[in-house]
Structure 1
């Protein structure tokens, strides 16, 4: 994603540099070429430095149908901070570059500059936010987004107990699939989602890991890390590490972390549930 934005901003900077240079020649404006290059490239460089923080915010506070009213004011406030960081970083880069070239950069009135830049930055800010959410939504459609199947059909028998879900409903590319809880190998926290690993594929479930863990059978699924809940039957061995931590070797060859906080509890449950695995731990 960061590479994509580097190409977008870099292409825009090159285009703006060329057009500004052409305008300077056409209208006989005494602009040095290196001044134009510094002015046009300093802005996208600062924006690129700020983008990782914005992408993390989009992941941490996604704007869904049930959250956008609560989070939108925060995004508006963040757009102001984005602009402030953009203007400050851009001016500092230009001052440093001009000083190296034996010249001085004058940003002019800071209030007027901030208002001018914000009118541009707010569009860039929300374009990035919108595109980030669109890519995430499309990815969930392709991969498949899971949800708890809590309400059975009217004429069918219940497919899950109230406390322990037996199946998850996965919607993928407009079609619905049932994923059995017994097929889940592990679950990994990912922002406001939990990725359910099933036969080598991840299905995002809109939930916290703690909420999902509370719905799963603690004899079958055990917390191994603040970001992982694993199915004991899928753990082939526990490799001890320094400082009390460990690695979990899964049946498909994947290695997952096991923190010191959860290691002994996992081994205790494993000793009763999987003797063969406990012997290799």
Structure 2
């Protein structure tokens, strides 16, 4: 499977990977707990270990998207690492609390259905113990996300706008470059701006879509739009820019928004704020 084939099905692979990851974690932790139970001949039944580990892992899996949302709002990017890292540290406390409350509630229900009751113990002591584990879990999950993003970026290539040379005249207007410099696995090559079909915001980056290729560019939508040719590119949403030649059809929606059908079959949302501007550029007076 090529990188582009993976990117086309990226979300499915990511969901599948994390689902499998949490299932394996559940089985591994249950096995360790069960073997300790057999070794020390505890009074607990085997199914209880399965419930304890399963409830904890399941709640962590449910809360995992909160880490992604929080990181999207406060990314660990250059210039904001200290402040946002501190905010992540603060967020581990309510995140851990939700984890503990969720797993205790789940265990209590299961024990109740079995005709018994679940005793979590001293909340102050037990929560402190669980928080120490949750802190490590949060850090491990967040580190894994950043490692995955780094590896994916290395494989697909990171683009940047051409800049003025140190000496001599630029080969093209730097304010509106015709080419992008892409770095991929230690190599550099140029791609034409006119090949960009649409652009999507992605955290601290924007993803440039050129056919079945995707290149992340460290920039904002607003700054990038200023450097693109206004006769060729238009913003249609706070998170999307399209090349006008790539538009095949505009589909109005009952909400007042619209949906773009691109030539390649891609669907791109159009917000009411940008709809009139898009129509004006597609059908000039």
Regarding TM over 0.5, the answer is yes
Paired position in structure 2 for 1:76: 89
Q: SS at 2:43's partner residue?
A: coil
Paired position in structure 2 for 1:228: 240
Paired position in structure 2 for 1:150: 163
Structure 1: gaps spanning 5 or more residues: 274-281
- Which has the larger Rg? 1
Structure 2 distance, partners of 1:86, 1:243, is: 37
Match of 2:124 among 111, 124, 128: 111
**What's the RMSD between the two structures over aligned residues?**
2.2
Counterparts in 2 of 1:60 and 1:3: CA distance versus 1, 3 Å = farther
1:133 equivalenced with 2:146 (yes/no): yes
Conserved? CA contact 1:147–1:206, under 8 Å: yes
Match of 1:8 among 2, 7, 21: 21
Structure 1 distance, partners of 2:63, 2:154, is: 28
Q: How does 1:51-90 map to 2 (within 5 A)?
A: 51-90=64-103
Counterparts in 2 of 1:19 and 1:153: CA distance versus 1, 3 Å = same
C-alpha deviation, 1:203, in angstroms: 0.9
Structure 1 distance, partners of 2:64, 2:30, is: 22
Compute the TM-score of the two structures, normalised by the length of structure 1. 0.87
Structure 1 distance, partners of 2:176, 2:125, is: 59
Structure 2: gaps spanning 5 or more residues: 1-13
1:27 equivalenced with 2:55 (yes/no): no
Q: SS at 2:261's partner residue?
A: strand
Paired position in structure 2 for 1:258: 270
Counterparts in 2 of 1:266 and 1:6: CA distance versus 1, 3 Å = closer
Structure 2 distance, partners of 1:6, 1:181, is: 38
> After alignment, is 4-13 or 43-52 more displaced?
4-13
Match of 1:102 among 98, 115, 119: 115
C-alpha deviation, 1:48, in angstroms: 0.5
Report Cα offsets for 1:190-249 as digits up to 9, x if no partner: 222211112331111122212211222222211122221111122233333434333323
**Paired residues, number:** 272
Q: How does 1:187-198 map to 2 (within 5 A)?
A: 187-198=199-210
Counterparts in 2 of 1:197 and 1:6: CA distance versus 1, 3 Å = closer
Q: SS at 1:242's partner residue?
A: coil
Counterparts in 2 of 1:228 and 1:22: CA distance versus 1, 3 Å = closer
